[in-house]
Amino acid sequence: MSSAVTSPPSPGDPWEHALTLLEADNTARRHVRDGALWVTDRLGEHLWSMQVQAMESVRDHRFTAIKACHGPGKSRLASRVAAWWMETHPAGSARVVTTAPTGDQVRAILWAEINNAANTAVARGQAFRGRMNETEWKVNNQLVAFGRKPSDYNPHAFQGIHARYVLVILDEACGIIPHFWTAARALTTGEDCRILAIGNPDDPDSEFAKVCASDKWNVITISAFDTPNFTGEPVPPELAAVLVGPTYVEDMRTEYGVDSPIYAAKVLGEFPLDSDDGVVAYSKLKRCSAPEPIPRTAEEQVPVELGVDLGAGGDETVIQERRGMVVGRRWTTRTRDAMAATGLIVQAIRDTDATSVKVDVIGIGWGVVGRLNELVAEGKITCVIIGVNVAESSAQPEKYARLRSQIWWEVGRRLVEDRGIDFSHLPGEYRDKLFAQLSAPKYTHDSSGRIVVEPKDETKKRLGRSPDNADALLLSFYVPAGDGGDALAYLRALKQAGRG
């Protein structure tokens, strides 16, 4: 019995061409189902396990929310999802719409990464379809993917975008305002459409927090401790180098403390919870901020006042400016020399043209206030100098045992709850520090039912550092009213200084 031998197809053989096409078709089908494989084959890149999980979620679920710590590769992941979506669906059938709270976040973060993916594909000889600029992707002169910040468009304009496969990416999702979430849902009514919301969970009152609590969304939480530099998951060295690592986590622990809302969001990837016994709620602080500075009129930026918390035992001396409701500049030093601290305060007065300065007089504060008043008498500075002893009895002894409790409650808690403070003009890193300090102190009631804010030393033990920035801020907003006569005296002093 003889057996037939089939020779392999020769070069140029139609069978070889057919097999090549079949293999390419099978690969394309696998890429549609396996985003991580597409990233590897097309871009030569490695995704770590939870990034793979996230791409699978976009494939399998209409709505995916990823709340993640700082530094797990969020923007790289979102950009690869966008490119995979556009390149694996038939030409003309897919659209990608991205947004973020600010133009820089749209252009310089997510779309910079999308452009990076396109450049990588070109370098590997597998260019993407069409052409791309800073925030737009066109194929055959048709806009198929774009990024916009909220001020660039009316959300109702989204209603004109139609395709079978629409992907909306909400980057830095905590900062996306509610009606843009509504617009995103209006774009993705089809069964084959998707929304990916991704960001750091730092605002428990945000729409992002609400969707992360919804059973309609597939929610993925990425803690720093889930990432390869902590789990030992094997990844290429170049990837490990850009992911969050132990040094960052230790810095966050020592700077903010493991119980702080900043640590919860940026290390654990969890929304902070307001403490029942906290004086100032973290969620309320977030409501007093914004991704970009809120424009204020000249009338809204007066009076200009300074609060000074003088350091003791190695703590910082902090001088905090407030311009009306706007939290402004700050000056810091660790000097223990009263006259050196006085010199810095004088510099701040001249830089800001402040109307008044309120100084914590405990410790070296009496000497500082005395010298500042001498300078006022000599005409070298024009400013009202007010010494504040937070250990004294409060102006409302039936409600607060000490002035410190009154200031933290009436200035910190109530002014924040009423959105009477604007933190939007602060750099993000300092804002985090200030929010951690403001949300740290706890309170109780004494046997007479009065509010008692814990001593500064107790806050310092739990926070791991003294809340000097917060104390200076509250002093800057504090009006030393006491009874009605004291309030009138304060206003009269401002008038006499020519500042009222």
Q: Which residues make beta-bridge pairs with 333? A: 317
| The residue count for the chain | 500
Report the percent of the chain where pLDDT is more than 90. 71
Buried b (16+ CB within 10 A) or exposed e, 126-155: eebebebeebebebeeeebbbbbbbeeeeb
Task: Output the pTM of the full model.
Answer: 0.84
CA distance 101 to 119: 26
- Separation CA 436–CA 257 (nearest Å): 9
Superfamily covering domain 26-246: P-loop containing nucleotide triphosphate hydrolases (3.40.50.300)
Strands 142-148, 317-323: pairing kind: unpaired
Question: Is domain 282-496 given the CATH code 1.10.3720.10 in the classification?
Answer: no
**pLDDT computed for residue 487 by the predictor:** 38
- Band (pLDDT 50/70/90 cuts) for residue 177 is confident
CA distances from 106 to 59, 111, 351, 430 (A): 23, 6, 35, 23
Q: What percent of the chain has a predicted confidence (pLDDT) above 70?
A: 88
Which residue is listed with tokens 């490695």?
Answer: 46
Question: Is residue 494 scored above 80 in pLDDT?
Answer: no
Least confident of 24-33, 141-150, 314-323: 24-33
DSSP summary character for residue 157: G
- Can you tell me the distance from the alpha carbon of 379 to that of 373, in angstroms, rounded to the nearest whole number? 10
Segment 292-310 shows an average pLDDT of 93
Kindly tell me if the per-residue pLDDT of 150 is higher than 80. Answer: no
Domain boundary assignment for the chain:
26-246, 282-496
Measure the CA angle with vertex 284, ends 283 and 289; round to 5°. Answer: 95
Q: Grade residue 311 by pLDDT with cuts at 50, 70 and 90.
A: confident
Cβ-contact 344, 331 below 8 angstroms: yes
Please say if the pLDDT value at position 283 is more than 90.
yes
pLDDT of 247 over the 60 cut = yes
Helix (H) or strand (E) holding 318, with range, is strand 317-323
Q: Reply yes or no on whether the pLDDT at 4 is more than 70.
A: no
What is the pLDDT, as a whole number, of residue 316? 87
Give me the residues paired with residue 195 across strands. 63, 168
Cα gap 406→443, rounded to integer Å = 11
pLDDT in tens, 197-246: 999 999 999 999 999 999 999 999 999 999 999 999 999 999 999 999 99
Closest CA to 185 of 177, 173, 195: 195
pLDDT (tens digit per residue) in 432-466: 999 999 999 999 999 999 999 999 889 888 888 88
What's the confidence (pLDDT) of residue 3? Answer: 40
